[in-house]
Amino acid sequence: MTRSMTVATETFPIAGRFIIARGARTEAVVVVATLREGDAVGRGECVPYARYGETVEGVVAAIEAMRPQIEAGLDRAALQQAMPPGAARNAIDCALWDLDSKRSGVPAHVGAGIDRLRPATTAYTISLDAPATMAEAVRKAADRPILKIKLGGSEGDIERIRAVREAAPDATLIADANEGWGDADLDAHLSACAEAGFALVEQPVPAARDERLQGMERPVPLCADESVHDRGSLDRLVGLYDAVNIKLDKTGGLTEALAMAQAAEARGFGLMIGCMVGTSLAMAPAMLLAARAAFVDLDGPLLLARDREPGLLYEGSLVHPPSPALWG
């Protein structure tokens, strides 16, 4: 049966501003690959990320360059060899998962060997800002059980850590420095997180310099994000981190993400399942990994002024599995 592909760029406004150590954003620009075979339609969404050298135009071009192979029937296994990890492969890989599910009538999670998908509690992100502003944002999110606190400012992070804990005495807190801490302040920041009862610190130092973490006393477990992409990056991180953040835009899709989760667990890493700021279509495939993760961070749609329809059902911070109309 003939297969066709379309590629589209879509923009979704962010509710307010999304601020991390590297800068601020007011919109999410996503790329969607749509595959059609007869009446079956499969979709995959990716979020190009400048930190990894990606642009929207470059990702669209990379997907378009695969058009002859994809329309000739390229499958997921061959895709892993044909493209490197990253956002472009993610969009195609997830579209192929969705297409295969629609063609066969077998849900994607069943095809992945998962008997049932269940709701998961996602972290909710608090953007980097002045300590008092972040504390107010935390108070407004007081009903959310897990909060991810963006840190990594040029100064004031210890005050931010203390302020958000005071504002949310009962919440599970995750610190995400986005590579923003240097050697001079690392120990002080980790100690402050430990004193405030943070459960995890994500990517405290730049990926290029994280050998600094080898052998150091860690009062709070550390999770790799920018330092980890796919299975090939895991071995170097043993002894540096306690957990890894698996994002489909880094792994290049669900296929590699599932394999990476198994490989990470075999090496003793805990798992976080994370996301870029995208719509429910980008979150849906990641739900297949949620049950095996210690922390789920699939709050992208909650940060948008509007999500796509149909989207995932969020009841507070409880995110439900996708409907077939959305994905899988």
List pLDDT tens digits, range 20-31: 877 778 899 999
Cα–Cα distance for residue pair 127/302, rounded to 1 Å: 13
For the chain, the domains span 3-111, 120-319
Reply yes or no on whether the pLDDT at 252 is more than 90: yes
Closest CA to 257 of 268, 265, 246, 267: 246
Pairing of strands 124-126, 222-224: unpaired
Cα–Cα distance for residue pair 145/170, rounded to 1 Å: 8
Reply yes or no on whether the pLDDT at 61 is more than 80: yes
Mean pLDDT of the chain: 96
Of 18-27, 222-231, 263-272, where does mean pLDDT reach its minimum? 18-27
Please name the helix (run of DSSP H) or strand (run of DSSP E) that holds residue 14, with its range, or none. strand 3-20
Reply yes or no on whether the pLDDT at 109 is more than 90: yes
- Residue reference for tokens 């059609």: 36
Is the link from the previous residue into 324 a cis peptide, with omega within 30 of 0?
Answer: no
- Residue reference for tokens 């100064």: 155
What CATH number does the domain located at 3-111 have? Answer: 3.30.390.10
- pLDDT digit string, tens, across residues 126-155: 999 999 999 999 999 989 999 999 998 778
Confidence of residue 17 (pLDDT cuts 50, 70, 90): confident
3-state class (DSSP) for residue 288 = helix
Cα-flanking dihedrals φ and ψ of residue 13, to 5°? -70, 140
Is 75 annotated as a binding-site member? Answer: no
Is 166 annotated as a binding-site member? Answer: no
Per the annotation, the verdict on 140 as an active-site residue is: no
Percent of the chain with pLDDT over 90: 92
Please name the helix (run of DSSP H) or strand (run of DSSP E) that holds residue 41, with its range, or none. strand 40-46
Average pLDDT over residues 65-93: 98
Contacts of 212 (CB under 8 A, 6+ apart): 183, 186, 205
- By residue count, the chain amounts to 328
Strand ordering across the sheet containing 270-273: 124-126, 146-150, 172-176, 200-202, 222-224, 243-246, 270-273, 295-296
Q: Given this model, what pLDDT does residue 127 score?
A: 95
Is 159 annotated as a binding-site member? Answer: no
Q: Given this model, what pLDDT does residue 124 score?
A: 98
- pLDDT digit string, tens, across residues 268-277: 999 999 999 9
Please name the helix (run of DSSP H) or strand (run of DSSP E) that holds residue 283, with its range, or none. helix 280-283
Closest CA to 224 of 252, 208, 200, 245: 245
Per the annotation, the verdict on 102 as an active-site residue is: no
Please name the helix (run of DSSP H) or strand (run of DSSP E) that holds residue 29, with its range, or none. strand 23-37
Percent of the chain with pLDDT over 70: 100
Residue 222 near residue 242 (C-beta atoms within 8 A):
yes
CATH architecture of 120-319: Alpha-Beta Barrel (3.20)
The one catalytic residue among 102, 148, 150, 250: 150
Q: Residue 183: how many CB atoms within 10 A of its CB?
A: 9
Cα–Cα distance for residue pair 243/272, rounded to 1 Å: 7
Q: Given this model, what pLDDT does residue 18 score?
A: 85
- pLDDT digit string, tens, across residues 273-328: 999 999 999 999 999 999 999 999 999 999 999 999 999 999 999 999 999 999 99
Reply yes or no on whether the pLDDT at 258 is more than 80: yes
Closest CA to 278 of 56, 93, 111: 56
Contacts of 52 (CB under 8 A, 6+ apart): 86, 87, 250
Residue 285 near residue 309 (C-beta atoms within 8 A):
no
